[in-house]
Structure 1
Amino acid sequence: MSTQLHRGRLIDHIQLVVRDLKASQEFYTAVLTVLDIPIITTTDDYFWADELVVSSLDSPAAQGMLTGRHHLAFQAKDRKTVNAFYLAALAHGGQSNGEPAERSYHSGYYAAFVIDPDGNNIEVVYHGEAQRSASSVVIDF
Structure 2
Amino acid sequence: MFDHIGIVVTDLKAARRFYDAIAAALEVQTKENGPDSFQFGKSAEQPIPYLWIGTLIPSYWVEGSKAGRNQSHIALRARDPAMVRAFHRAAIGAGGKDHGPPGRRKGVPSYYGAFVLDPDGNNIEACYRGAVAEAV
Structure 1 Cα separation of the partners of residues 51 and 100 of structure 2: 23
Q: Which stretches in structure 2 are left out of the alignment for 5+ residues?
A: 42-49
2:29 alignment partner, SS class: coil
Match of 1:13 among 4, 11, 18: 4
Aligned residues: 119
TM superposition shift of 1:106:
2.8
Question: For residues 90-105 of structure 1, what are the structure 2 equivalents within 5 Å?
Answer: 90-105=92-107
**Within the alignment, does 1:49 sit opposite 2:45 as a pair?**
no
TM superposition shift of 1:105:
4.1
| Offset from partner CA, 1:9-31 (integer Å, 9 cap, x none) | x1110111110011001000100
TM superposition shift of 1:104:
2.4
Q: Which stretches in structure 1 are left out of the alignment for 5+ residues?
A: 1-9, 132-141
- RMSD, aligned CA: 2.0
Could you tell me whether the CA contact under 8 Å between 1:55 and 1:62 is conserved in 2?
A: no
Q: Tell me which residue corresponds to 1:114.
A: 116
2:19 alignment partner, SS class: helix
**Within the alignment, does 1:37 sit opposite 2:39 as a pair?**
no
**Within the alignment, does 1:66 sit opposite 2:57 as a pair?**
no
Structure 1 Cα separation of the partners of residues 116 and 129 of structure 2: 18
Q: Tell me which residue corresponds to 1:6.
A: none
Rg larger in structure: 1
Task: Identify the structure with bigger relative contact order (alpha carbons < 8 Å, sequence gap 6+).
Answer: 1
- Amino acid aligned to 1:107: P
| Offset from partner CA, 1:55-100 (integer Å, 9 cap, x none) | 11xx3x6348535210110010000000000000000010000110
Structure 2 Cα separation of the partners of residues 47 and 30 of structure 1: 14
Could you tell me whether the CA contact under 8 Å between 1:41 and 1:49 is conserved in 2?
A: no
Q: Give TM-score scaled by structure 2 length.
A: 0.79
